[in-house]
Structure 1
Amino acid sequence: MLDADCQQIDVEQLFSLGVSSKAEKGHGIGLHLVKEIVERYQGSIEAENGTQNGAQFAVFIPKEGI
């Protein structure tokens, strides 16, 4: 995955606890929690670079897992 400056981003680091954007204040737990929930239900997460507004994430959870 590439950031806005076309630099490679470590996707696993995005889902690590405590990682947050420099532009946004927060605790950096959102994506980590999403990853934990999705893994628990054997789903998947897809990420796509946005042109101006950052990345877009899609979360898929199978109906059977709920």
Structure 2
Amino acid sequence: MPQMYPMEWLIIYFSMITIFFMSYVIIFFVTLNKNTPKNTYLNENSTYQIYKTLKKNSFKWKW
């Protein structure tokens, strides 16, 4: 195991956190697009529709 400096560990941890966060965001948007109709984004109450789908699917993720 080579010696690593704190800056390198910080970069490694930051990259891991960003990778996990990006995968979570991608999964979140895929499930959101699967569960909402396409014309919801054209309506003015699209945020309310997204909120409804979020409340409906908050604890039942479809993997």
TM-score scaled by length of structure 2: 0.30
Q: Which has the higher strand share?
A: 1
TM-score scaled by length of structure 1: 0.29
When Rg is computed on C-alpha atoms for both structures, the one with the higher figure is 2
Q: Which has the higher helix share?
A: 2
